[in-house]
Chain A
Amino acid sequence: MNHDIDIKKVRINCFRQSKVAGEFMLQLRVPGALIQAKHLSMVEEVCEKWGNGTFHIGTRQTLNIPGIKYENIDEVNKFIRGYIEEVDIQTCDVDMESTDAGYPTIGARNIMSCIGNAHCIKGNVNTYQLARKIEKLIFPSHYHIKIAVAGCPNDCVKANFNDFGIMGINKQVYDIDRCIGCGACAEACEHHATGVLTLNENGKIDKDTCCCVGCGECSLICPTGAWTRGKTLYRVTLGGRTGKQNPRSGKLFLNWVTEEVLLGMFANWHKFSAWALDYKPEYLHGGHLIDRVGYKEFVKHIFEGVEFNPEAKMADDIYWQENEQRGNMHVMPLSQHKHAGPQSSAN
């Protein structure tokens, strides 16, 4: 076999190096994690013809095909041309040429989504449609960014651990004349969400608007349609990540913003990243760029020319709390744990 392989070049082409020398795993993008089922037979064919016959569901919702030999990469790239063209160029309207060379970059990562309101009763938004719109704005770019779209603040897709974690929310609307004072919304809010609703002595509902997360549990349970979903909006967490060094969950960044604000922001991502990295792409995800630049500076760049909707809120500052894998301050052998309270003499 060929022992002179430019691993980085192959990686940018979305083929990941294997521990088996000369083998690679292809990662096919699925922006929004929803495609026509017909593509699955194409994937199966690649797995069986060029891969090792197995298939892996990618952790970022890519379709992963392990065991592809280096010398077959060109052939595989030709074969997946139709898929890339249909999924990225046609469905997401991504601005790139259809070629036989496979994916042009690995930079902006696959945009993850839960199934959203295309299926889920809790979903507030169509997640895959939003993901496709964002894909158009961030791909293909050599600057790294991880984005996930959740249909509601339940965040089943764990958007919270992405550079940008988007959650669909609604400004719920209350029609006092349709309310029968059953209290089901207050109970549901207490049980599933933040407990911002109370049944008052007039048999109607009071709401602590401050802490409403816009999840829509009230609209779901309301027997009369007194609660309904108002404007579709989004909340966004920023700077979440996994990793060996300093993983952390994202912090609340934007609340009650429209899709226009979101898309306006992502349209600035490439420009911001290029500026932050002095126009030299590095294998560094978005959160690290924000760390380097500083939150306040980041905000200036990312919202350039973006007009906020009246309901929109944005973090004035963000104080991330990192889970320092290096520190291990509190993780120690049980024998070294400090004790409190009465101890048995045997200890």
Chain B
Amino acid sequence: MGYVISFEEANKIFADLQDEYEIWAPKRFVGMGRYSDTDLIKYDKVSTVEEIEYMDKSDFPAKEVLTPISESMFYFTEDEFIESKATNKKLLIFMRPCDIHAQHHQERIYLQNGGYADMYYKRMNEKVKIVMMECTVGWDTCYCISMGANKTEDYSMAVRFEDGQLRMDVKDEVFAPYFEEKEEISFQPEYVEKNQLTLDIPEIPNKEVLTKLKNHPMWQEYNKRCISCGACTIACSTCTCFTTTDIIYNENSNVGERKRTSASCQIKGFSDMAGGMSFRNTAGDRMRYKVLHKFHDYKERFKDYHMCVGCGRCIDRCPEFISIVAAVNKMSKAVDEIVAEENK
């Protein structure tokens, strides 16, 4: 059912919803951007429509709501442990279509991969209801269409932000009571139909070509350009890697807390092993790993789609102006060259 409601009416609904829900949405943090007098947009709890940043793309993805950059797993004493608690409330998250698609990647890795469901993810994921933020134009770093992530019907509600009012598609019956006596309209969200960027993902026909691609000189460019900061993977909607750390409380080494913290394959030391072995020691190696993981290995394993939704946040956040789209397109060219050479 479609409705049109004023911001004022929406804020009353927000107030009612908050008895049961935490409402999460992208929010603008003034002056907190990388450069001075620039802003940062990241997910945070909101209680009014006005707090939602719906004009600009968020710097950081919606995944942070379910898997914050660092979280406590459990607290331990000498002979027992106590698990950390998740929020008691349900989660209503405002997401763009790309973030909703990314949610499926997150679910796959945390809940289905290796026959094991991560309980910290599960307990959060069960609480989620999605409000899709209509996205019809996108930005110059978006390539959601290339990744098939521009459209989705996987939402409880969809919203179009207009000047002082919201148009909403309320699909989930759970939310119908909140909209009683609100003005009914016919409303279906629209989607991005065209991106400025397009991605040409190569088919890698066999292992020989893959091996040659891994050794291709194209990756060396990133030894000079990439500073291995990991901003791309932290901003990535689909990346899930984390590491765990035991934090020991003060002088008692048997009492402490286990935390998990986002990790990045782009940062030196990511592949360090006990005994001192380390892999992918150059920025180019790490870039190759990331690009192939996202645009080859993942699909090779799961068979359906690549590990990218085209949100373009990695491009937005890269302080060195490295574009994943350019990297993948270069890879395509390299594969063509290798295949042509093989067929000679």
Contacts and interface: CB of A to CB of B under 8 A. Distances in A.
Interface of A: 117, 121, 123-126, 168, 170, 176-182, 184, 202-203, 216, 219-226, 228-229, 232
A117 B35 contact: yes
A232 B69 CA distance: 27
B264 A182 contact: yes
Interface stretch (B217-225, B229-237, B327-335): B229-237
A324 B263 CA distance: 55
Contact of B68 (A177, A216, A229): A177
Contacts of A125: 36
A220 B247 contact: no
Given A180-B230, A224-B234, A219 B261 contact: no
A180 B70 contact: yes
Contacts of B70: 176-180
Contacts of B263: 180
A66 B26 CA distance: 57
B271 interface: no
Contacts of A226: 69
A170 B40 CA distance: 16
Contacts of B31: 228-229
A196 B27 CA distance: 31
B301 interface: no
Contacts of B245: 181, 202-203
A125 B229 CA distance: 25
Which A-B residue pairs are the 5 nearest by beta carbons? A223-B231, A228-B32, A117-B36, A223-B229, A223-B230
Nearest to A182: B267
B143 interface: no
B78 interface: no
Nearest to A178: B69
B60 A225 contact: yes
Given A182-B229, A216-B36, A228-B29, 17 more contacts: A117-B37, A170-B36, A177-B68, A179-B70, A180-B261, A180-B262, A180-B263, A181-B245, A220-B35, A221-B227, A221-B229, A223-B234, A225-B40, A225-B60, A226-B69, A228-B40, A229-B32
B279 to A, nearest CB: 18
B29 to A, nearest CB: 8
Nearest to A118: B37
Contacts of A124: 36
B303 interface: no
A224 B262 contact: yes
Contacts of B59: 225
Interface of B: 29, 31-37, 40, 42, 59-60, 68-70, 227, 229-231, 234, 243, 245, 247, 261-264, 267, 317, 319
Contacts of B227: 221
Nearest to B262: A180
Nearest to A203: B245
Contacts of A202: 245, 247
A223 B264 contact: yes
Nearest to A221: B229
24 contacts: A117-B36, A177-B68, A179-B69, A180-B230, A180-B261, A180-B262, A184-B230, A203-B243, A220-B34, A221-B227, A222-B34, A223-B229, A223-B231, A223-B264, A223-B317, A224-B69, A224-B231, A225-B34, A225-B40, A225-B42, A228-B29, A228-B32, A228-B33, A229-B36
A156 to B, nearest CB: 15
A120 B85 CA distance: 44
A177 B245 CA distance: 13
Contacts of B32: 225, 228-229
Contacts of A121: 35
B74 to A, nearest CB: 16
B233 to A, nearest CB: 8
A316 to B, nearest CB: 30
A125 B243 CA distance: 37
Contacts of A176: 70
A219 B32 CA distance: 9
Contacts of A220: 34-35, 319
B38 to A, nearest CB: 9
Nearest to A116: B36
A161 B159 CA distance: 57
A285 B177 CA distance: 75
Contacts of B69: 177-180, 224, 226
Give the residue among A121, A126, A168, A202 with the most B Cβ atoms within 10 A.
Answer: A202
Nearest to B231: A223
Contacts of B264: 180, 182, 223
Nearest to A179: B70
Give the residue among B35, B42, B231, B319 with the most A Cβ atoms within 10 A.
Answer: B35
Contact of B37 (A126, A181, A221): A126
Contact of B261 (A203, A216, A222, A228): A203
A184 B36 contact: no
Give the residue among B31, B34, B264, B317 with the most A Cβ atoms within 10 A.
Answer: B34
Nearest to B229: A223
Contact of B230 (A117, A182, A216, A229): A182
A268 to B, nearest CB: 28
B160 to A, nearest CB: 29
A258 B227 CA distance: 34
A229 B34 CA distance: 8
Contacts of A182: 229-230, 264, 267
Nearest to B34: A220
B247 to A, nearest CB: 5
Given A179-B70, A225-B60, A219 B34 contact: yes
Give the residue among B36, B40, B227, B317 with the most A Cβ atoms within 10 A.
Answer: B36
Contacts of A203: 243, 245, 261
A184 B261 contact: no
A216 B230 CA distance: 19
Contacts of B35: 117, 121, 123, 220
B52 to A, nearest CB: 19
A124 B35 CA distance: 8
Nearest to A177: B70
A232 B38 CA distance: 13
